[in-house]
Structures are given as C-alpha cells and as structure tokens.
A and B are shown apart, each in its own frame.
Chain A
Amino acid sequence: MTDVRNMIAKNIAGMLHDGDFVNLGIGIPTLVANYIPDDIDVILHGENGFAGQDKELPITGIHKDVETYKAWLNTHGGEQTDHLSGEGHRDLINAGGFYITLLPIASCFDSSVSFAIARGGHLDVTVLGGLQVDICGNLANWMVPGKKINGMGGAMDLATGAKKVIVAMEHCTKDGKPKILEQCEMPLTAIGCVDVVVTELCIIEIKDRKLIVTAMAPGITREELKEKTGAPLTFAETVQTMEGV
C-alpha cells in the first residue's frame, strides 16, 4: 500500500521542472516532495501562507500531554527559534499541520495573497488527491455524500487556478470500483480542470474528452487497465513504462 502511494508520488515528481512553483495537497501529493530530483529546484507553496518550504520536521513526543505541549509551544515561539534551525517554530506549519523549515528564498504572506497565487494562475502545478475524475477533466475530491463533513478547504481554488492540475490517486476504490469515469458521481471540486491523472497503474492525460494513456506500470496489460477504468481509453503512440520505487 505504502509502495503504491510512493510510486505515484515518484512518477509525479518526475514531471516537475526546475523553477516550478508547486502546491502539493494533503495525502499522496505530500509524498511528492520526497522524490523531487536533486538536480532541480522546486518552490513549494503552502495555502496557509508561504512559498519555499524546505523540510517537514519529524517532531515527536510533544503531544503526550497538555503540559508537555504547552511547554514546547512556549519555548518554540517568537525569537526563540527560527525558520532555518530545524527545531520547529510554533508559528510555522504547512497546510497539513506539520512544523517545517523554509528555504532562504522563502516568503510568508496572508491568505488573500496566498489565494491570489492559487486562483490567479501563478502556480505552475498543483497536485491534488482525487475521489473521482472523468473524461471532461472534472474532479471530485472533497466530499463523500452522507459521510463526514469535510469542507473543500483550498481545493476548489487550487484546482481552478493552477496552470497544470495533476491528480494523484489510487486507480480503484478499496472495493475495486473504478475512480476514472465517463462522468463523476460525487460532488465536484472544479469542472474541466484536470490535465493529468497518475495512479499506480498508469499515467493518463486528459484532452478533448479523451483519456490518453501515456505510461503504464510494469506488468500491467492494456486489457487489465481497460477493465479497471470506467471510461474508454486511448493509448499514446509510445506508451512509456512508469518508474517503480
């Protein structure tokens, strides 16, 4: 399972270019950061108000009780630590709620600037999780009707505004149903927004209501892929082989 998620992340990282300004959503998209090739620099945007994340910090043990946590907060704020130290600062988190460090080129800004970036076409790429994607490039990723109230957070803004939207998701649901469909059934996040879908089985580009398979995982047959997809597939002239982890 972990390997499936990491494989998807690694293949998406391979699509990024030097200098790209990128937002990574929560879930599989977060893992993409671990696979960005060493020879390129990518600037990571956080919807809560930064550009230029360096690392997520593995800070553990501070939540064991209220007193321990209060003590940590009150020794990791103000000028006590900074964005480079790696000790963590209580006012520096990413959208997933992890403490982070920032690169020297980083900047922080308020939510209206952050979403001007998202909505205004300033992001080269946004990578989002998905529940369903369809042949029109519609994306559903924020709500399963009748279940928990989730809220869309920044997903609608990011999906609408980024120059390129990559969806990172497992090819089928846990009970084996296709998630790539003729038409999404779940509430939409944005219409016609998806450029590329990356699953553990294949990479699909969506263009003019066509699902074009550009790469497949090793060992998968075209027949198997068609069976597991809820809409007709077109295969590119050259279908590449996806990278494993």
Chain B
Amino acid sequence: MKNKVVGIEEAISHIKRGDTVMFGGFGGYGTPNNLVQEIVRQNIGDLTAITEDFSDGYKPFEMGLTALLSHKLVKKAVMSFAGGQPRVTEQVFSGELEIELTPQGTLAERIRAGGSGIGGFYTPVGVGTVVAEGKETRVIDGKTYLFEKPLRANVSLVKAYKADTFGNAIFKYDSISFNPLVAMAGDIVIMEVEKLVQPGDIPPDRVQLPGVFIDYIVVQEEVAP
C-alpha cells in the first residue's frame, strides 16, 4: 500500500496556485498551523480559502491562518467569523479580498454535504437576513427554509492529535471542530498530526476520523503557533 507519511514540503506541493483550500480548526485552535506556515513558505497564492475564520488563536502574535492574509495569498474566502481579525476588514475594504459570509452551522453542514454526496439542503438559519439574498426559499410544513449548496475543495488541510500510518485519527478535546468534516470534502486531504502510531494502536471503535479519507500525513511533534 502507498506510504501516506511524507515530509511537509512534499505534502504542501500538492496545492497549486489558484486552488480552493479548506481548513479545519476554530479560532486558530485545532488548525493545521504547520501546514499553513508551509503554504506561506512556498508562497502559493490566489487561493480561495474555506475556513471558519482567520484568527490567530495566539494573539498578540500574528500567526495561525491570519499569516495567509498578511502574505496576501488569499483572493476569496468562504468564512463565518471575522471578529478581531483586522486583516479581513483591511483587505475587504481595499478590494484585495472577496468574502462570502456563512453562518457557522451552515458552513459546517455545507462542508459535510460536500463530503457526503449531498447536493444541498434546506435550513431555517438566515431566513429574513442578508444571508437569504439570491437564495431559493421553500416552505416545508409551514416553516420557511433557505437552500444552501455544498462546498468542496481541491485540497483539505486538517489537524489531528494522533493517527496511525493509514490515517485513522483521534482528536484532543474540542480541537476536533471542523476537522473531520473538512477531511471528507477535499479531492486531496493532508493531515498534520502530533503523534504517529502503528495500525492497531488506535482501537477501531475509538477512531474519530477514518483513514480512508486521508491522502498524506505530515508528522509535526511541535505545534506551531
């Protein structure tokens, strides 16, 4: 079987200029920060980013996903929360960044739909707000819903705590957030892990993300801020 465990440089070289890239994590936590730094190092630009946010969980330093904005590598973002992320406001107002704001639960479900072969879904969230502009609405059993489309990416980047060499992974606490959803919705899926173990070390019924979704594994023992 193909060896999925590769170096960080090789893994990130699968992202092409202009790609759509999806990121796991929330607020800079559970984010594949080493992989993000490698995108910056390889200077891969014109990206469309699908992410909950661009927070550096590690204020006051500018790190985490916000580094992609500082280096002007993102032209469009599908995202949910931009509070406390001055780069987003700056680059939207200067015209460098286009954003599509999506309610957080809708974003999670759009990604899940994208990874699950679902062509979209109806949700009550956003009805009567700017989120509904230009979208189909439908009344189901007397309640109004909005139609939301699925999301997929050329490359998905995720972060797990521990995985075996096949990619069966587990997460620590709430660093799981968007990671298993994002891992299902990318054509190529790259996973950063802190600890690599052998097949069988994680019992099958404790696996939170099946390795079948994973293409490349990058081991980074030190978490990057």
Assess the A149–B89 pair: CB atoms within 8 A.
yes
Binds B, one of A14-22, A33-41, A45-53: A45-53
Interface residue count on the A side (C-beta < 8 Å) = 50
Assess the A119–B105 pair: CB atoms within 8 A.
yes
- Interface size class on chain B is 35 or more
Q: How many A-B pairs fall under 8 Å by CB?
A: 173
Assess the A191–B29 pair: CB atoms within 8 A.
no
On whether A188 and B58 interact (CB within 8 A), knowing A49-B177, A92-B174, A154-B103, the answer reads: no
Assess the B83–A151 pair: CB atoms within 8 A.
yes
Assess the A160–B223 pair: CB atoms within 8 A.
no
Cross-chain contact of A78 among B81, B99, B161, B178 (Cβ < 8 A): B161
Binds B, one of A108-116, A197-205, A212-220: A108-116
A63 interface hit (Cβ, 8 Å): yes
Bitwise, A44-66 to B at CB < 8 A (1) or not (0) is 00111110000000000001001
Assess the B101–A187 pair: CB atoms within 8 A.
no
Binds A, one of B42-50, B121-129, B134-142, B199-207: B121-129
Query: Shortest distance in angstroms between B157's beta carbon and chain A's nearest beta carbon?
Result: 16
Cross-chain contact of A97 among B52, B57, B129, B171 (Cβ < 8 A): B57
B197 interface hit (Cβ, 8 Å): no
Q: Which of B4-60 contact A (CB under 8 A)?
A: 26-30, 52-53, 55, 57-60
Query: Shortest distance in angstroms between A69's beta carbon and chain B's nearest beta carbon?
Result: 6
Q: List the 6 shortest-distance A-B pairs measured between CB atoms, nearest first.
A: A115-B105, A157-B105, A153-B81, A191-B128, A91-B175, A91-B172
Give the B-binding residues of A (Cβ under 8 A): 46-50, 63, 66, 69-70, 73-74, 77-78, 83, 89-93, 95, 97, 102, 108-112, 114-116, 118-119, 138, 148-157, 160-161, 187-191
